[in-house]
Amino acid sequence: MQMKRENIAWLMILAALVGIVVLSGVASVEVTAALIGLYLFALIGSFVNFQPTRLLDQSRSSLLTLRMSTEAREAVERARRRGSFAVSGITLLDVGLIATQEARSGLVMQRTRTVSLDDDGIRPFIKLNVSPDKADRQVRFRFEFVDQNGDPQYVHEMRTYLRDGEMDILPDHQLPLAENARLDGSGDWDLRVYLDGSLLGAHTFSVGPSLQARFADAAERRGAERAQGAANRLDVGAATDDDRPMTLEELLRSRDQEDGRSQQQG
């Protein structure tokens, strides 16, 4: 902290005047205290580099921070922990996913942080605030979905013309989920948003398994188990018929047949 040189002269003059008034005793205690306070205020002010423009920018930045959603705060903080620096003049106000699913009433779109492999698809979205000095130019956005194994499952790049104020950015295609053979298992995924190569935010979300596929597998297993059980019962029944002991009537009939064959041979 350094005092401005142009303030030293008038501060010395002011100190001399205040000292004369205090030492002369002509001023009351209240006036003396007020003069001393005024001098201290002037002394402190001489060390402060007051810049109205900078103060206005800081106030605007604080207001934008208050408008950030919980998801945006988390995403920006995760990006910062990964070594990414904040993009000056551009504030991430919101970030998330839009899930789509066919229903009887038509296509249903909803914001979510937990998706299922039964959903038709998902696409990312962000909401930005662009300061005037960063507007009126084209930038390149890159959206990535990274699965629980660290493999990228969705990459979309788009060029966008930045305008002053709030902007909603939504890619024009989605990641298919239902019946997607590339997707297997469940876990936590990442949505990573880049602006001209700089990581703007890293949003985490959960992906659950397909319940329809699980029900189909369970039904197939139950069918196989029932078929195997029926085959086992047939085998047991056949073995039981072969091993059953002969009755007296069957034994006599068998003996008469053997005697008849013996007489014919004789």
Beta pairing, strands 198-208 & 114-116: parallel
The whole-model pTM stands at 0.61
Predicted local confidence at residue 34, as pLDDT: 76
The helix/strand/coil state of 149 is coil
Q: Give the mean pLDDT of 20-44.
A: 72
Predicted local confidence at residue 76, as pLDDT: 96
Q: How far is CA 15 from the centre of its chain?
A: 60
Instruction: Judge if 104 and 84 occupy the same domain.
Output: yes
Instruction: Judge if 89 and 164 occupy the same domain.
Output: yes
Mean confidence (pLDDT) of the chain: 80
Cα 240 to Cα 21: distance, rounded to the nearest angstrom: 126
Beta pairing, strands 137-146 & 152-162: antiparallel
Predicted local confidence at residue 261, as pLDDT: 60
- Domain-embedded: residue 253: no
- Domain-embedded: residue 250: no
> Worst-scoring range by mean pLDDT, 30-34, 177-181, 216-220?
216-220
Instruction: Judge if 120 and 42 occupy the same domain.
Output: no
Domain that holds residue 34: 5-50
If you count them, how many residues does the chain have?
Answer: 266
Predicted local confidence at residue 194, as pLDDT: 98
Instruction: Judge if 147 and 239 occupy the same domain.
Output: no
Instruction: Judge if 72 and 151 occupy the same domain.
Output: yes
- Domain-embedded: residue 254: no
Predicted local confidence at residue 14, as pLDDT: 72
Boundary (domain end) residue, out of 209, 235, 258: 209
Instruction: Domain count for the chain, please give it.
Output: 3
